[in-house]
Amino acid sequence: MNRETLIRYIRGRKAFYSDPTQLLHAVTPALARFAQHHDLDTAILPTISKGLYVRQRLTAPDEDFQLIAAFWGPQSAAPIHDHDEVTGAVTALQGTVSETKFALKGSEKNIVFLEASETETLGIGQVSPIYPGEALQRHDMRNNSETWAVTLHLYLTPLVQFRIYVPNEEGGYSSLPRTLWFD
């Protein structure tokens, strides 16, 4: 499946489904197929990024959803972050990445307390959902290997703002707002 076919497929399903959860279920098989037989040239790997990994938008800026390829250098990682209540999914296109989801266990003042769930390894075509709500919004991701990995991220509405969670001395995390960037 090529990128334009996937984009047209998602666009068509968005016109049909009004519920984001149903829409994500409807497009998940297409994401998995694309991951297994995609047309992206992942052999030309970027070397410079504005962040911890490289993000490249695959959809037009005016599209009402986002497809993003993330290029993960050896041993690179994203900190714990949320998705501003946006529904979406992530899958591997090349290599594997580990993902740990975090549930909110409480907060005091400007400190949040998070609890990690089990860490899963995402291989090519294995799709991990991102749903609004506490348990499935926050995660971290990392490439634990010595080779590059590439992931595909789908956000059913454009993701603009998000928060990262930085460990603090009180045993919790500070929540810091960020704006999504593209390389």
Which residues are annotated binding-site positions for Fe cation? 81, 83, 139
166 residue type, one letter: V
DSSP 157: S
Q: Annotated binding site: which residue ranges?
A: 81, 83, 139
Structure-token pair, residue 25:
């279920």
Nearest alpha carbon to residue 98 among 122, 129, 130: 122
Nearest alpha carbon to residue 161 among 66, 85, 106: 85
